[in-house]
Amino acid sequence: VSTVNLPIGCHFDAIEALIAQGKMEQANRILTGFERQIPADAIAPRIQIARFMAMAGSLDDARVVIRGVLKLDPSNEAAKDLEGKLNR
């Protein structure tokens, strides 16, 4: 299923549904592909991707994404909060 041209909220709705269904591997594949497609400076979507990666059990990938966000915006409170949760 290709979701490349859908609005960002549709991507996240689909990913959330996959996670709710326990389809973690599929969710992570989509998240990884989506993360590669969005602009590097798209901070809010990257934070959400990291959250979903964590929910789907890909903690290492989530940490990599959130570290990238913090390199772009070291004072981003949402990113710092999520980093703290990921490092517990």
Asked if 51 contacts 61 with a C-beta cutoff of 8 angstroms, the reply is no
**What is the three-class DSSP state of 15?**
helix
- The torsion defined by the Cα of 56, 60, 61 and 62, in degrees rounded to 10, comes to 70
Q: Residue 72 half-sphere exposure, CB side, CA atoms within 13 Å?
A: 14
Asked if 63 contacts 47 with a C-beta cutoff of 8 angstroms, the reply is no
pLDDT digits (tens, 9 = 90+) for 16-45: 999 999 999 999 998 988 888 888 889 999
Q: What does pTM read for this prediction?
A: 0.84
Environment class of 52 (CB within 10 Å of its CB; exposed 0-12, middle 13-18, buried 19+): buried
pLDDT digits (tens, 9 = 90+) for 56-87: 999 999 999 999 999 999 999 999 999 999 99
Query: How high is the mean pLDDT of the chain?
Result: 88
Between CA 40 and CA 14, with CA 87 as vertex, the angle to 5 degrees is 50
